[in-house]
Amino acid sequence: MLWRLKKSVTRMNKPVEEILAPKPEARPRIYAYSIADAAHKGLLKVGQTTRDVKQRVAEQLKTAAIKNYRIELDESAERDDGGIFSDHEVRAALVRKGFANVQLEWMRCTVKDVKTVLTDLRTGQRFAGTHHETFPMRREQAEAVNKTFDYYQSIRAEKQNAAPRFLWNAKMRFGKTFTTYQLAKKLDAKRVLVLTFKPAVEDAWQTDLESHADFDGWQYLSRSSGSDPTQIDHAKPVVYFGSFQDLLGRDAAGNIKPKNEWIHTVNWDLVVFDEYHFGAWRETAKELFEGEEDAVAKKEAGLEYAGGLTDMNEDLAVLSEQEAAFLPITTRAYLYLSGTPFKALATGEFIEEQIFNWTYTDEQRAKEAFAAKHPGQRNPYGALPQMRLLTYQMPDELLVIASDGEFDEFDLNAFFEASGTGKAAKFTHKSDVQKWLDIIRGGYMAKSIEHLKTGTRPPFPYSDVRLLPYLQHAFWFLPNVAACHAMASLLAEKHNTFWHDYRVIVAAGAQAGIGLEALPPVRQAIGSGFETKSITLSCGKLTTGVTVPQWSSILMLRNLKSPETYFQAAFRVQSPWSIKNPNGDNPHEEDILKPVCFVFDFAPTRALRQLSEYGIGLSPNESNPENAVKDLVSFLPVLAYDGANMTQIDAGGILDIAMAGTSATLLARKWESALLVNVDNGTLRRIMDNPEAMAAVERIEGWRALGDNIIETIINKSEKVKALKNKAKEKDLSDKEKKELSAEEKEYKSKRKLVQEKLIKFATRIPAFMYLTDFRENTLQDVITQLEPDLFRAVTGLTVKEFSKLVELKVFNTEQMNQAVFAFRRYEDASLRYTGIESHEGLTHYGLYDTVVATD
C-alpha cells in the first residue's frame, strides 16, 4: 500500500495549508449598558455581539462621544439545548413580561429583569407555529420547483388523468422540505400526503411548515400531533405526514387499518415519497445496524427503515411498476426525494426530463461562484462547509494485526474487535488500540523518531493545532456495541489524561434508546458547543436524519461496504453551524463557525474506493469515470498519509489506489456479477414491446434453448404469484392453492434466473472483445464504431447496433458496466506499463454506454 500512495500523490491547486485552514472562533454574547443622564434614566440598551463586549460598546458610542456609560451585563447567548438566542428574542420576552421597548434596542427595565429573561430563554423552548421566517428560495430550489411544475403540466396536457412522477436527486442540506412545500403552493395543492421510509425525519417537515411565513394558515397533521384528521378545517391546506408501514400497512387479516381508512378516501393533490433511496437501502440498511445488539438492531432497523414493508410488496424497490395496486390512494402527482438515489438513476426508472439534480459538487460550486460574483455580500451557501477527507496508512506493526480481505487491506472491524457489555467490554487488541490512540494525537514514539529524522510532522487528528478545533465535537463510527463501550472505558483510563477533557457519549446499544432517543444525551453533553468538548461513539445510531451543528469531524473506524452508507454517515458532519446577524445590527451578516469539516479514515484503499464509487454514482451519465471523480474531489480535497508524509491526491491517484489489488480474477468477478443486468418485470416488458430488442436477445447464444415466449411466461407467472399472495392476505388458501403458489413461484424464479445467466454470459464477452483489439491509442468508442465492428459481432454474437438497443432499454446496468469497462481498461494499461509499454499520451477511458450510443 505504501508504494501506491507514494506513486499516486500529486500536488493540486489547493495547498495543504489551505486545506487545513484555522477554524474561526466566535462567542455569542448578550450585553446591556446604561448611560448616566436624565434622558436615559431607568433605561438599558440590550444588544448582542460575537466580539469583545467592551470593544463593541465603545465603537457604538464613539461617534456620539458618549463616555458616561456603564456596561451592566455581559452574558452568554447560548441555550441549554445547544441553540443560540438573539437580542431581539430577549427584548421580545421583556415586552411579554410587561416592560416597555422605548426606542429601538432601549428597554425600560432593570438588570435583574434582563437576567430573569436570559434564564427563561436558556432553559425554555422556542415557540412553535410562529411563522417568523421570511427567507426566499435559493436559485436551485426555485429551479427545482419550476422544472417539476412544468413537467407536471406537460404530462397533464398529454394525458388528462395521468399522475406524473418526478425525482429530486438532492443531497442533504438542499432544503427538500421547504422546497417541497413551495412546490405544493405553486401547484395550489390543498391536500399533501408525505410518506417516508424513515419516520425520524418528521421534525423537519413540521418545523418548516410552522416556521415560515409563506405557509401561514397551513395545517400540519401526523400520528404524533394528536389531531383528528377527519375534523380538520377543509378550507385550509393540510399536510399529513406518516410512515409507509403505518399508513399503508394492513392488519393480520389483510385489511386496511380502520384508523387509516380516511387516507384512502381523500383525493390527494400531491403525494411525496421521502428518502426514496429506501429501494437501495433495503439491501444495505442492515449494514448500519449490524453492530447493534440483535434485538436492538432489529427494532431500530424497523423504525428507521420500515422493515415491515418487505411483506407488503416484493417489488417495493420500484414502486412505479404497480403504484395503483401498491398505493390504493388517488393523487394528481407524485414527488420522490432522495440524496442517494443511485439505484433509481442506474436502472433508468426516471428519464432525464423527470429528474432534478443537486449534488454536493453543485452546492460547493454555487458557494464558490456566489462569493466571486458578490464579494462582501452574505453568501446563501456560505454556512455549508466543504468536506475534506484525510486517510492514514497505519504502521506495519498494526497492519499485521488486522489485514484481511481480497485486497489484503487494513480491516477496521478486526482491529477494533471487542467483546463484553458495558464497563466490562474489552478490545481483543487493547494494546494496539492504545497505540492507535497515541498515533492520532501524535504521541506514538516509533513514528515520532521518524518524523524527527525527516523533519516533517504530518497532521494527525488530535495533535495538529489546525485540526484540534474541528475535533472539539467529533463522531467516532465503530464496528459494534462492544467496541463503543470498550472505547469509552479505554478513554477513561487514568493514563489517558489527554482524553479526559472530552465528554464521551456512548450512543449504542439498548440503553441508548431507539432512533432519536439517543440524541438528547449528545445535545446535553455538547450544549452550545463553545466551551465543551465531546466524542460521540456509535455503531449505527444517529448516522441518518440527524443534525448536530457542532459535529465537525467523523472518524470512520469500521468497514462499510456501500458508498450510500458511507456518505450518509459522513454528511452528518456537514451540517451548517453559524450565527446570523452576530452583532445585532446587520441582518445580512453571518459568522460562519464551521467553514470546513473533516472525515478521517484509517483504511485508505477502502475509503478511496468509497469516494470513487460515490463520485461515479453521482454522475451516471458521465462517459469518463475519472472526470466524475475529478469533479468531486475539486470540492472534496483528499490528503493521504503514506507513513512519512501527508500529500494531496488527484482523481487519477484516487482511482489507482481504489482499484489497487485488482487482478484478472477480480475483474472476471465484476463481469460475472448479477448487478450488470436487469431482469425485473419492467425491463422484460420493454424488451417484449420492442421488436428490435426481441430479435437481439434471441440471437444471444443459448437463448432459444430457454423455450418459446420465455419473457412472456416469466411476466405472466410472476403476476399470477402476486395475485395468489394478495388472495392469501384476504383469506386462508386451500392446500391445493398453497401448493400451486409454491410451484408457480419456484418456476418463475427459476426461469428468471436462467434469463439472467444468459445475459451475464453475454456480458462476459465484452472484456474478451476489448482484449482482442489492438487500437489502444483510441477510445473504446472509436474501436467499436470505426475500426472493429466485425470483431465485436464475431466475439459477442450481436451487432453493435443490437447491443446499443439493449443498453438503451436498460437491460444492462449502465453504471455497473461503465465501472467494469473502466476497471478493465485501467488494469490493461497498468499491465502494459508493467511490461514497459506505455499507453499513448492523452488516452481517455470511456464508459460502456458511450462505446455504443453513437452507432444507432
On whether the CB atoms of residues 436 and 487 are closer than 8 A, the answer is: no
E strand or H helix that includes residue 165: strand 165-170
**Predicted pLDDT of residue 162:** 79
Q: Is residue 206 part of a domain?
A: yes
636 shares its domain with 699: no
Tell me the helices (H) and strands (E) count for the chain, helix number first. 35, 28
574 shares its domain with 644: yes
DSSP 136: P
Residue 560, SS3?
A: coil
**Predicted pLDDT of residue 310:** 39
pTM, full prediction: 0.73
497 shares its domain with 420: yes
CA distances for 123 relative to 129, 131, 176, 212, 214, angstroms? 19, 22, 30, 24, 29
State the Cα–Cα distance between residues 633 and 285, nearest whole angstrom: 27
The model's pLDDT over 53-93, given as tens digits with 9 standing for 90+, comes to 999 899 888 877 788 999 999 998 988 777 788 899 899 99
Q: Is residue 365 part of a domain?
A: no
More confident residue, 781 or 644: 644
Query: In the chain, how many domains are there?
Result: 4
**Predicted pLDDT of residue 327:** 56
Q: Is residue 346 part of a domain?
A: yes
Give the residues across from 165 on adjacent strands: 334
The model's pLDDT over 687-700, given as tens digits with 9 standing for 90+, comes to 888 888 888 888 88
Exposure string for 598-609, b = 16+ CB within 10 A, e = fewer: bbbbbbbbbbbb
The pairing of beta strand 238-243 with beta strand 106-108: unpaired
- Residue where a domain terminates, one of 64, 94, 123: 123
The pairing of beta strand 29-35 with beta strand 43-49: antiparallel
Q: Which of 696, 651, 690 is nearest to 797 (CA)?
A: 696
- Residue where a domain terminates, one of 608, 628, 661: 661
Task: Check pLDDT > 90 for residue 430.
Answer: yes
State the Cα–Cα distance between residues 201 and 304, nearest whole angstrom: 9
Q: Is residue 5 part of a domain?
A: no
152 shares its domain with 118: no
**Predicted pLDDT of residue 777:** 30
652 shares its domain with 683: no
In the predicted model, what is the mean pLDDT of the chain? 78
604 shares its domain with 711: no
Task: Check pLDDT > 80 for residue 328.
Answer: no
What average pLDDT does range 452-481 have in this prediction? 86
- Residue where a domain terminates, one of 639, 661, 683: 661
Task: Check pLDDT > 50 for residue 313.
Answer: no
DSSP 479: S
Beta strands in 247-288 (DSSP E): 267-268, 270-274
Q: Is residue 363 part of a domain?
A: no
- 254 torsion bin: left (phi>0), alpha (psi -120 to 50), beta (else): left
CA atoms 134, 138, 141, 146: torsion sign: positive
Q: Is residue 247 part of a domain?
A: yes
Task: Check pLDDT > 60 for residue 841.
Answer: no
Alpha carbons within 13 A on the beta-carbon side of 264 = 16
The domain of 409 spans: 386-661
Q: Which of 335, 332, 353, 326 is nearest to 163 (CA)?
A: 332
105 shares its domain with 172: no
The model's pLDDT over 651-687, given as tens digits with 9 standing for 90+, comes to 877 777 766 554 444 555 667 777 778 888 888 888 8
648 shares its domain with 675: no
164 shares its domain with 307: yes
State the Cα–Cα distance between residues 693 and 468, nearest whole angstrom: 59
406 shares its domain with 272: no
Q: Which of 255, 304, 298, 312 is nearest to 275 (CA)?
A: 304
Q: What is the CATH number of the domain that holds 414?
A: 3.40.50.300
User: What is the CB neighbour count within 10 angstroms for residue 549?
Assistant: 20
What average pLDDT does range 275-303 have in this prediction? 54
**Predicted pLDDT of residue 187:** 95
| pLDDT range class, residue 758, cuts 50, 70, 90 | confident
Task: Check pLDDT > 60 for residue 126.
Answer: no
**Predicted pLDDT of residue 828:** 59
606 shares its domain with 465: yes
656 shares its domain with 685: no
Q: Is residue 367 part of a domain?
A: no
The model's pLDDT over 187-246, given as tens digits with 9 standing for 90+, comes to 999 999 998 866 656 777 888 888 888 998 899 988 776 666 777 777 889 999 887 766
Least confident segment among 103-117, 489-503, 534-548:
534-548
| pLDDT range class, residue 842, cuts 50, 70, 90 | very low
